[in-house]
Amino acid sequence: MNAGSIGARLDNGPLPERLGDALRYGPFHRALREAIEYRGLSLTRITAHLDRLGVKIGQSTLSYWQRGLRHPEVPRSIDTVRALETVLRLPSDSLVVLIGPRPRAGKADEIVPKFTEVSRVWQDAPALLAEFDAAPETRTNADLRIDAVHDYIQLGPHREQRSQTTRFVVTAARSGPDRYFATHGGDDGCLIERAEITTAEGCRLGRVRRSAVSGVMAMELLFDRRLAEGETHVFCFTIVDGSGGTSPGMERTFLRGVGTYLVQHAFHRKAMPARVTRQYRRGEGAEPVGTEGLVCGIGRVTSGYFTNLPAGLAEILIEWT
């Protein structure tokens, strides 16, 4: 999705796409990190500039802020954040509007209900995830930053989804995460209790919970170790389920932003689409952004690619002949 047209602007022209998206959609630590990288300033130079403005802050605090390990306190840190905008030559209040009140500890599950109206999958997902005896922040993967996701979906001769292979690239925001909780919603009419899950590199299957009524399941994917802070990990799994009806496409809900998302559909030669479209929406009922028609090329495969997505819905819509 090309979001350059919606990015914030400096006096001397538009900000780069990644920074513009981060300032518009947040979260704060992502926007701060992108601004520091774009300006090419070390934390030492930033604190020196702030000191000349009469603002005292430690390099360690800035480091924690840009990694999301700590959050500026409101209202105490507002002047400091405004000074950061000056040093980093950002539009006025572009960082201030992102700090807001800090979510209370232990309330990570509050993230999930906000999305129960965004996607059909998330209607039953909170209840299924609550069945796992894990801390709320673990069930919502709060300790993992999603750098990239790749979905490869194979469709059958009756327009049904046969399989979905998903590969994640994640980075540990702090030391300790050793699993990932994923959800999957089958197409209308599917028999979710018959869906088979196999794992490839980077993970093995843990516990699984299913809702036969809604065709939704939640699964625990276990890593082979606890990740260290800043460590990047790749894992992959496949879901096989050809019991659903005509597939309308793919809808993936991101509770937090993601660096890149690639979703591919491989069509059967006896069931080719009339049109395939990709789009992004902030939430249920929101206007789609970045709508683009996709070409079904060599190998009967379409590819929808998204970059720097904030929390929301990435969708692939299939229209059939």
pLDDT surpassing 90 at residue 8:
no
Residue-range domains of the chain with CATH: 4-99 (1.10.260.40), 108-320 (2.60.40)
Residue 109 confidence (pLDDT) above 60 = no
Residue 125 has pLDDT above 50, yes or no: yes
| Least confident span in 27-41, 46-60, 119-133 | 119-133
Residue 3 has pLDDT above 50, yes or no: no
pLDDT band at 82 (very low <50, low <70, confident <90, very high): very high
Tokens of 26: 């947040």
Whole-angstrom distance, CA of residue 119 vs CA of residue 117: 6
Structure confidence at residue 121 (pLDDT): 56
- Got the DSSP string for 165-209? EEEEEEEESSS---EEEEEEEPPTT--GGG-EEEE-TT-EEEEEE
pLDDT (0 to 100) of residue 136: 65
On the question of pLDDT at 84 being above 80, the answer is yes
pTM: 0.65
Q: Which of 85, 88, 130, 90 is nearest to 110 (CA)?
A: 130
* pLDDT tens digit sequence for 181-205: 999 988 888 999 999 999 999 999 9
Answer yes or no: is pLDDT of 11 > 60.
no
d(CA 270, CA 39): 53
Place of tokens 């700090």: 99
Q: Which one-letter DSSP state was computed for residue 115?
A: G
Question: Is the pLDDT assigned to residue 16 strictly greater than 90?
Answer: no
Q: What is the pLDDT of residue 24?
A: 77
Beta strand 312-320 with 232-240: parallel, antiparallel or unpaired? Answer: unpaired
Span of 103-117, 118-132, 244-258 with lowest mean pLDDT: 103-117
